[in-house]
Amino acid sequence: MPVYEYRCDECGETFEWFVRSAAQGAPPVCPRCQSQRVHKRISLFGVGSAGGDKSTASSCGPAL
């Protein structure tokens, strides 16, 4: 079940919207001003590590 990030065109609030299914009928609504004028943002996920060299990027694959 994906979580999408949105930004409100009215007040500038950035918020996340939990989507239960692709056919969900309710459009996202800004939690601050209740506007439906929102746009989906492109967001990236982060992968952390418990240690090691901080100068290299993390990946989901095994360390080589």
Residue 60's contacts (CB-CB under 8 Å, 6 or more residues apart) are 47
Cross-strand pairs, 40: 6
pTM score of the predicted model? 0.59
Per-residue confidence (pLDDT) for residue 60, from 0 to 100: 57
| Residue-wise pLDDT tens digits, 13-64 | 999 988 877 666 678 999 999 999 999 998 766 666 666 555 555 555 565 5
For the chain, which residues make up each domain, given as ranges?
Answer: 3-40
- Confidence band (pLDDT; 50, 70, 90) for 3? confident
Residue 30's contacts (CB-CB under 8 Å, 6 or more residues apart) are 6, 8, 10, 11, 13, 15, 36, 37, 38
